[in-house]
Structure 1
Amino acid sequence: MATIKDVARLAGVSTTTVSHVLNETRFVSEDAKARVMQAVAALNYVPNTVARSLKGGSSRVLGMLVTDTNNPFYADLIQWVDRVAYRHGYNLMLCNTQGNADRARDYLAMLAQRRVDGMLLMSSDTQQETMADLSERLAMPAVVMDSAPAEAGYDRILDDSEMGGELAVTHLIEQGHQRIGLLAGPLSKRNSQSRLSGYRHALTKAGLAADDNWVCSDELSFEGGYRAMHALLARQQQLTAVFASNDLMAMGAMRALMEAGLRVPEDVSVVGYDDIPAARYCNPPLTTVRQPMEALAEQALSMLLDRIREPSLPGRQVVLPPALVGRDSVAPVN
């Protein structure tokens, strides 16, 4: 098995230079860097991360907490984060909290014991009592990839959910719709509240009443959308369009509409949120609001690596704008 000395000998540099290239700890000329990487490839050199962790305090491992890996949005995001982490020479340790705050705390303690270099938090259950004591209990860099409270003191990267909700409803209004329902996620979640605010703002700007009788809240799932759509139809039989707080809810709603004898989009137009892969393949393909998945992964890793290198940096917040993706589930009002 090749050693770091073998790489240095083949590249014609010192072992220190090889270390700086692999760990990105100091400037190395492009020529020397290229020779080192060529030698690494030629020798199939694999760094000893355990020894490197003991010697330099770096495990080259990042932790990631998510609420539910069964949600296609999280599954897609995890793939992007893993690609970016791998490109930077890090492995990703994934922890699925399954929506359980106690489990989230246990995973956070385990990650600290494993000496991961930093962690990414995308878990709404850490936003309640867990977040309040994390800053005192954890001695590692962290970036929150959703709407954690600002007082938690972490670097945060957020989707502009209010803007996304406004984009969705404005698109429906532009198609002539005025009787627009909202299938909201749990209103204890900040993203659900923000999308509700965007819904109201779009209606108000268009001179339409923002009436809470047109809003039904349920889980961010197929079943939640299905139940919420049936509940909304029971109250508002004259609706012509609906905005769902995520794509899973939108697909559940489409099923409920079909069972009620209503066609999408001829009778009721539907807009979702997230642009999960299945959105383009459902029938009809779903108009939705896309979160910039690749940019989210890139920005989160960049912020975390900055924090690992410079722990004393002031806390930062980056908000990424969403974009509307028009497909066939929306039509002009009939």
Structure 2
Amino acid sequence: MNDDNSNETDKPRSATIVDVAKRAKVAIGTVSRYLNGFPIRRANREQIEEAIQALRFKRNAAAVAMKTDVTHVVGLLAPSFDEFHGAMLEHLSRALRRDGRALLIYCHGGDTRLMEDGLDYFSTQRIDALVMSGVAHLFDRVDQLIEGGVPLILYDNDLAGLKADRVFVNNREAAMHAVRHLLDIGHRRVGIVTGDLSDSAANERYLGYCDALTERGLPVDQQYVAPGHWSILGGTDATRRLMSLRQAPTAIFSSNYVMAAGVLRCFKDAKIRVPDDVSLVSFDDPPLFGLYEAGITVVAQPINGVAQTIADVLERRLRSARETPFGTTSLRCDIILRGSTRPV
């Protein structure tokens, strides 16, 4: 009897994907990508193949089969937990919970390596779908996830050409209405602080700015176009450049609230008063804008509506055939007039 127990105890343990990753000195997600047929770097592939052979690793057929099961878990690849994305997380989590689903979150903070690690992480998880704001250089990696059977929903920023559902706001039209308001009250030198124009959201808002000027027969003067790179510091630097012009703008449109905070910082440092000296309109409506002394005129995104629409689109996608045509939903933004603009 003792001999039998000894034989059971001495029976070698089967190697796992963790063992392979450890021996090959790569991430678990990289091994998973190899096993699922996705392309990886040649050096990694050779190390993984050597580890598999040395460890006599055999893939667990039951684990593979489990991948086809519905888990009611949705992945969210988020750039940050700022006012916009943090609110999106809260509303989306609540909307999915009502449908019996949970949200699995990976925040990359704009770091390229963390973005790729996040996709590797999701590739190892049994998620039913992935929700993310598009990032151009991730196109191939995301496309591989889609080909592997993971439905994708894009919000905030597009990745053109991907087989995905999309939920956006009417960036171009909303920006046009915001700039049109400034033109209606007499401003002719209107500056814009843009995001990165390679991003669809930034480009659409810039085009809306151009549309409003063109509609009134005004030229789009590039000296009034200043990149703010979606950051407070970028917004500050862009505003300094605009306000140093010989004919400085009498109004500024900021493409998001983060850069608008940079605009306000520059104004404070230079003792420029809003709206007495310069009018200001911003895309996005964080709570503090309503508490600012003058109150900031904004383009308010329907964040709750975007989140609920994502949940609805996801529900339809998962309940219907995966071959159902992909769609784009565009939600309307509201212009909220406060005290940061005045006629000239």
Return the TM-score normalized by structure 2.
Answer: 0.76
Q: Aligned partner of 2:323: which letter?
A: S
Aligned match of 2:298 in 288, 312, 316?
288
1:61 lines up with 2:94 in the alignment: no
Q: In terms of mean alpha carbon deviation, does 79-88 or 127-136 score higher? A: 127-136
Within 2, Cα distance between the matches of 1:237 and 1:261? 18
Within 2, Cα distance between the matches of 1:76 and 1:86? 15
CA distance 1:255–1:57, change in 2 (3 Å): same
Q: Alignment identity in percent?
A: 29
In structure 2, what is the equivalent of residue 177 of structure 1?
A: 187
| RMSD between superposed Cα atoms in Å | 2.0
1:263-320 Cα distance to aligned partner (Å, 9 max, x none): 1001100000111222212333211101111110011111112111221211111111
Q: Aligned partner of 1:119: which letter?
A: L
Within 2, Cα distance between the matches of 1:283 and 1:256? 16
CA distance 1:88–1:260, change in 2 (3 Å): same
Within 2, Cα distance between the matches of 1:272 and 1:248? 9
Aligned match of 1:105 in 89, 110, 116?
116
Within 2, Cα distance between the matches of 1:194 and 1:182? 13
1:120 match: secondary structure: strand
Aligned partners of 1:97 and 1:123 also within 8 Å: no
Q: Aligned partner of 1:120: which letter?
A: V
1:119 lines up with 2:143 in the alignment: no
1:235 match: secondary structure: coil
CA distance 1:151–1:247, change in 2 (3 Å): same
Aligned match of 2:308 in 263, 287, 298?
298
Within 2, Cα distance between the matches of 1:236 and 1:181? 13
Within 2, Cα distance between the matches of 1:154 and 1:296? 16
Within 2, Cα distance between the matches of 1:149 and 1:197? 18
Deviation at 1:97, TM superposition (A): 1.5
Aligned match of 2:252 in 242, 245, 260?
242
Deviation at 1:85, TM superposition (A): 1.0
In structure 1, what is the equivalent of residue 158 of structure 2?
A: 148
CA distance 1:109–1:205, change in 2 (3 Å): same
In structure 2, what is the equivalent of residue 76 of structure 1?
A: 87
CA distance 1:100–1:316, change in 2 (3 Å): same
In structure 1, what is the equivalent of residue 285 of structure 2?
A: 275
2:219 match: secondary structure: coil
Within 1, Cα distance between the matches of 2:305 and 2:332? 10
1:308 lines up with 2:318 in the alignment: yes
Within 1, Cα distance between the matches of 2:200 and 2:68? 39
Within 1, Cα distance between the matches of 2:222 and 2:174? 19
Aligned residue runs from structure 1 range 318-333, under 5 A = 318-333=329-344
1:87 lines up with 2:98 in the alignment: yes
Return the TM-score normalized by structure 1.
Answer: 0.78
Structure 2: 5+ residue stretches without partners: 1-64
Q: Aligned partner of 2:286: which letter?
A: I
Deviation at 1:256, TM superposition (A): 0.9
Aligned match of 2:196 in 183, 186, 194?
186
1:30-88 Cα distance to aligned partner (Å, 9 max, x none): xxxxxxxxxxxxxxxxxxxxxxx96982222111111122x211111111101101111
Aligned residue runs from structure 1 range 192-231, under 5 A = 192-231=202-241
How many residues matched? 279
Q: Aligned partner of 2:133: which letter?
A: M
CA distance 1:72–1:118, change in 2 (3 Å): same
Q: Aligned partner of 1:322: which letter?
A: C
1:130-188 Cα distance to aligned partner (Å, 9 max, x none): 4454433x321221113323311101111221112101100111111111100111122
Q: In terms of mean alpha carbon deviation, does 237-246 or 106-115 score higher? A: 106-115
Within 1, Cα distance between the matches of 2:161 and 2:169? 18
2:293 match: secondary structure: coil
